[in-house]
C-alpha cells in the first residue's frame, strides 16, 4: 500500500458514515441489503475450499528473510527468483520494463502465472511484492505490506495447479513497483509529490499492455489482496471497489463462516485496482488498513512477521477461492 493521504481521507469517510448512521440509521441499513438482492448466487453444496495458512505463512517468512525488496535492491531480485522458482512447470508470463520514476530509472518485473479453465474469460488475483523505496535505508521488510499477499498467492498457486478448472481461467499476478518512490506528499516537504503521479508503475504497465493486445477485455474480475496477514484481521470495505463484486466476496465469506472479518469498516483506498477500474474491469481490493493501533505498524520497521497469523492468510485465501467458485457459476455476471 503506497499512500498515507488516503488514510486521512478514509478516516474522514468513516467519520462521515458514522454521522449519517446516527441521523438516519434505517437508511444506512437499507443500502447494502438492496445491493445484495440485485444478484442471485448459485447454490453450493460442495465443501468449501481451504487454503493452507501455515504453508502461506512459511512463504511469507521466506520472502521476508531476503530483506528489503525496494526497486533495484538485491532483495528484490532474490524475491523475483524465489517466486518464479515456485512456479516451475506453470505457464508464466514475464512483463518486464524500465520505469522512469522521479528518482531515476529502474527495472520492473511483473510475474503472471496462468491456470486455464474451461470457460471463456479470466479472473485475476493480484498482489504487489515490492517494498517502499523511501524506507530503503531502514530495515523495513513489509511483512504485511507486500509480503503477506505475495506469500498467499504462492499458496493459491498450489491450490490451482494440476487441477482441471471447470470455470474461468485464473491468473495470479505478482506485480511490481506499486509503492511510491518518493515520500507521499502528505508531509509538505519540498521533494514530495502526489502519490497519484508516483506509484502503481508495474500494474499500470501491465494493464496498458493487456489493453493493447486485447487481453483486458477477457478479464471478468480482479481480486486484489494487500495487507491481509494481520493477526487482527478486519478487511475493509473500499468504496472505490465494484459493489457487486464486494457482495460476492461477502457471500463467499459468509458461506465459510468468516463474515465477521470482512467489511466492518468502510474507507476509500487507492491501490493497484485503480487502473483496472478506470478501464471498466470489475475490481475489489481486499485490504485491512488498520494495522496496529491507529495503523501504527504501516510503513514502519514494526511491519514484521510476528504481527501476522497463518489463520488470517487461510481466511483470506479461502475466501478468494470461494469467490472464484461463485463467479464461475454466476450466469451472467452483472454488468460492469
Ligand atoms: Zn506500502
Average the pLDDT over 307-336 and give the result. Answer: 94
* CA 227 to ligand 1 centroid distance, Å: 9
pTM: 0.89
* CA 298 to ligand 1 centroid distance, Å: 7
* CA 2 to ligand 1 centroid distance, Å: 4
* CA 20 to ligand 1 centroid distance, Å: 31
How much is the pLDDT for 23?
A: 32
H or E element that contains 205: helix 201-213
* CA 225 to ligand 1 centroid distance, Å: 12
Asked whether residue 276 carries a pLDDT value surpassing 50, the answer given is yes
Asked whether residue 71 carries a pLDDT value surpassing 60, the answer given is yes
pLDDT band at 47 (very low <50, low <70, confident <90, very high): confident
* CA 309 to ligand 1 centroid distance, Å: 19
* CA 33 to ligand 1 centroid distance, Å: 33
* CA 223 to ligand 1 centroid distance, Å: 18
DSSP string, 233-259: --EEEETTS-HHHHHHHHHHHHHHT-G
Average the pLDDT over 75-88 and give the result. Answer: 98
Asked whether residue 6 carries a pLDDT value surpassing 90, the answer given is no
Amino acid at each position: 500500500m503506497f499512500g498515507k493521504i488516503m488514510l486521512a481521507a478514509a478516516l474522514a469517510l468513516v467519520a462521515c458514515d458514522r454521522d449519517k448512521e446516527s441521523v438516519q440509521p434505517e437508511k444506512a441499513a437499507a443500502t447494502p441489503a438492496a445491493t445484495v438482492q440485485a444478484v442471485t448466487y448459485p447454490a453450493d453444496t460442495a465443501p468449501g475450499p481451504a487454503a493452507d495458512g501455515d504453508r502461506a505463512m512459511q512463504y511469507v517468512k521466506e520472502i521476508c528473510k531476503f530483506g528489503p525488496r525496494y526497486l533495484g535492491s538485491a532483495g528484490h531480485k532474490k524475491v523475483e527468483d524465489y517466486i518464479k522458482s515456485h512456479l516451475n512447470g506453470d505457464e508464466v508470463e514475464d512483463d518486464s520494463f524500465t520505469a522512469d520514476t522521479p528518482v531515476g530509472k529502474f527495472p520492473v518485473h511483473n510475474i503472471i502465472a496462468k491456470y486455464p479453465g474451461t470457460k471463456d474469460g479470466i479472473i485475476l488475483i493480484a498482489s504487489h511484492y515490492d517494498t517502499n523505496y523511501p524506507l530503503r535505508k531502514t530495515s523495513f521488510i513489509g511483512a504485511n505490506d507486500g509480503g503477506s499477499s505475495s506469500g498467499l498467492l504462492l499458496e493459491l498457486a498450489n491450490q490451482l495447479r494440476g487441477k482441471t478448472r471447470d470455470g474461468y481461467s485464473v491468473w495470479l499476478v505478482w506485480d511490481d513497483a506499486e509503492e511510491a518512490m518518493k515520500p507521499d506528499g502528505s508531509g509538505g516537504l519540498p521533494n514530495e509529490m502526489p502519490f497519484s503521479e508516483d506509484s502503481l508503475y508495474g500494474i499500470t504497465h501491465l494493464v496498458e499492455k493487456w489493453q493493447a493486445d486485447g487481453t483486458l477485455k477477457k478479464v471478468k474480475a480482479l481480486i486484489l489482496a494487500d495487507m491481509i496477514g494481520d493477526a487482527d484481521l478486519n478487511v475493509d470495505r473500499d468504496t472505490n471497489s465494484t459493489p457487486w463484486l464486494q457482495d460476492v466476496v461477502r457471500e463467499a465469506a459468509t458461506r465459510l463462516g468468516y463474515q465477521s472479518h470482512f467489511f466492518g469498516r468502510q474507507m476509500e483506498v487507492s491501490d493497484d485496482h485503480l487502473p483496472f477500474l478506470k478501464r471498466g474491469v470489475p475490481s475489489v481490493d481486499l485490504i485491512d488498513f488498520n494495522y496496529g493501533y491507529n495503523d501504527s505498524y504501516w510503513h514502519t520497521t514494526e511491519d514484521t512477521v510476528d504481527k501476522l497469523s497463518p489463520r488470517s492468510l487461510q481466511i483470506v485465501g479461502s475466501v478468494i477461492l470461494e469467490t472464484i467458485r461463485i463467479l464461475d457459476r454466476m450466469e451472467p455476471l452483472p454488468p460492469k
